[in-house]
Structure 1
Amino acid sequence: MKIEKILNNNVVTIIDEDGIEQVIMGKGIAFKKVFGDKIEEKKIEKIFKLDSKNASERFKSLLNETPMEYVEISRNIIKYAEKTLEKKFEDVIFLALTDHLNFAMKRMKKGLPIKNEMLWEIKRIYRKEYSIGIWSINYIKYKLGVDLPEDEAGFIALHIINATLGESMPNTMNITKLIQDILSIVKYHYKIDVDEEALSFHRFVTHLKFFAQRMFSKKQELSGDDSLYEVVKDKYNESYLCVKKIRDYIKITYDYELTSEEMVYLVLHVQRLTKDKSVASNT
């Protein structure tokens, strides 16, 4: 590999065999190097393959204006998240998270922290990602001596959620709001508090994540066997009435019509959730 451009002592670009520019990172990788020099492979710590030219240009611009300690912190947060969630993320998360951290640090220095309006929902629905956010702000405090507010843990969690779902930030926020609204409908229909540690709760939330993702991407599943719909409707009538409220809310708010198959799955999940021994009645 030969150097195409030197961005700083730790970052260079190359042109791969397909003619696509890649960003190579490693401590001192460009020290005393010039255009056309070979890269010492033992110094390579990370290769970023960004598909679009626009993303590549944004990434190079970001690396030029961002302190390398922020870049390193972002890399380590992503490594920790991948290990915790046992999932490999696309390189685009590095661009988004590094940009966010750079902006967050500038805001903090100016005394202008931003309120995270979805913090409560994130803590409740995305517990693992939120725990990564908390780890991250503690790590930043250890490395930089900057005490970021809990809101920033929520913002970092959102970036992790985006990477996990493969969604944009607006879609992730829409998905989170929809899940929270559906949980609220169940809560108020049954007048209960649900034990959020219960397995049935986590299964329900997981189902809602994938349902919401399909809904916002307009990938509606074909309706299944209507005979099963009628059986579930009769057998679990109270859960069905609750899901009817969910269906009506989604139709009015998002102009999306639930299929009979989607209704069946929601009824079954609501039934499990509300019949769980860990559900505590408010009445």
Structure 2
Amino acid sequence: MNGPFKIKKILNNNVVIALTEQENEVVLTGKGIGFNQKQGEILDDTKVDKYFVLIDKSEQEQYKLLVPHVSESFIGVMNEVIFLISEKLDTDFDEHIHIALTDHLSFAIKRLQQGLGVKNPFLIETQTMYPKEYTIAEEVIQLMNHKLNVSLPDGEIGFVALHIHSAVTNRSITELSKYSLLINRLVSVIEDSLKVEVSRTGIDYLRLVRHLRHAIERSELNQPVEAHERLEKVLKEEYPLCYNLSWKLIKIMQKELQTKFPDAEAVYLTMHLQRLSPN
């Protein structure tokens, strides 16, 4: 949304409440957007490098409630963070990330200052499932550490990556965390069934996790999977352990997600399992 915007209230140097030409209230957030501005004036956006417009009413109210609880300098850095994400993604994303990521990272820094660390048990799964978001999140944490003189742990990269993916897909963090937990559980079942320890840094693990992620997405979108009856027959005869295990995993996913998986998924999953099998 483009201006002109009439300034209604200045929350701080980096956040202002404004009115559009149609008298709709919006929240503008940008580094220095409120500096030397006055209530009732038309925003001089030539003095503002970059800014975001929060349009959704519920998001505006949440953001207004959050702003007084974080420092101006932090809000300024978060504006740089959001722009870094937007430039790297080059796509539209849910404006809720302004609230969710600001809230998460401000709390993470408070915990860090209090000596309270929070481990991320799904860091590798997150990196494997969302490699693009993870790479961007690495840059976000580097920027935060540099600008705010903190040392956020690597686990925060995974949390930020989930927030980025959530904003792109409009899926909640709770939902995405459920997928990570499910895949972690499936890998444990595979290790127990095949009597192997799967290297979390190996290429076969990478392929397996990405396949499981895509299988889950196909199931939720009810997308068909091309059937290979001859291949299925061969795999069933040659690799019965992996074939039966593939169906065990599918049943776990179906129960957890309350969705249906096409029979052909077992074929592709069997091939991934065979790569992990010691026999």
Structure 2-normalised TM-score? Answer: 0.78
Structure 1 residues 204 and 121: alpha-carbon distance in aligned structure 2, compared to 1, 3 A threshold:
closer
Greater Cα offset, 28-37 or 141-150? 28-37
- Structure 1 portions without partners, runs of 5+: none
The answer to whether residue 51 in structure 2 is matched with residue 49 in structure 1 is no
**Does the 8 Å CA contact 2:14/2:76 hold for their aligned counterparts?**
no
Matches of 1:67 and 1:195 in 2, distance apart?
39
- Structure 2 portions without partners, runs of 5+: none
Residue correspondences, number:
269
Which residue does 1:264 correspond to in 2? 264
Tell me, what secondary structure is at the counterpart of 1:39?
coil
Which residue does 1:33 correspond to in 2? 37
Which residue does 1:73 correspond to in 2? 77
- Given the alignment, which residue of 244, 250, 253 partners 1:250? 253
User: Deviations 1:57-77 (Å, cap 9, x if unpaired)?
Assistant: 111222233223222332333
Which residue does 1:161 correspond to in 2? 165
The answer to whether residue 248 in structure 2 is matched with residue 236 in structure 1 is no
Matches of 2:222 and 2:167 in 1, distance apart?
24
Which residue does 1:221 correspond to in 2? 222
**Does the 8 Å CA contact 1:179/1:208 hold for their aligned counterparts?**
yes
Q: Match of 2:52, as an amino acid?
A: I
**Does the 8 Å CA contact 2:30/2:76 hold for their aligned counterparts?**
no
Matches of 2:33 and 2:86 in 1, distance apart?
25
Q: Match of 1:77, as an amino acid?
A: V
Matches of 1:109 and 1:195 in 2, distance apart?
31
Q: Match of 2:33, as an amino acid?
A: I
Tell me, what secondary structure is at the counterpart of 1:174?
helix
State the shift of 1:148 in Å.
1.7
**Does the 8 Å CA contact 2:54/2:95 hold for their aligned counterparts?**
yes
For the aligned residues, what is the CA RMSD? 3.3
Q: Match of 1:265, as an amino acid?
A: E
Q: Match of 2:232, as an amino acid?
A: K
**Does the 8 Å CA contact 2:94/2:168 hold for their aligned counterparts?**
no
Tell me, what secondary structure is at the counterpart of 1:115?
coil
Q: Match of 1:245, as an amino acid?
A: K
Counterparts of 1:22-171 in structure 2, within 5 Å, are: 22-44=26-48, 45-51=50-56, 53-171=57-175
Matches of 1:194 and 1:231 in 2, distance apart?
31
Query: Identity over the aligned pairs, expressed in percent?
Result: 29
Q: Match of 1:94, as an amino acid?
A: H
Greater Cα offset, 125-134 or 110-119? 125-134
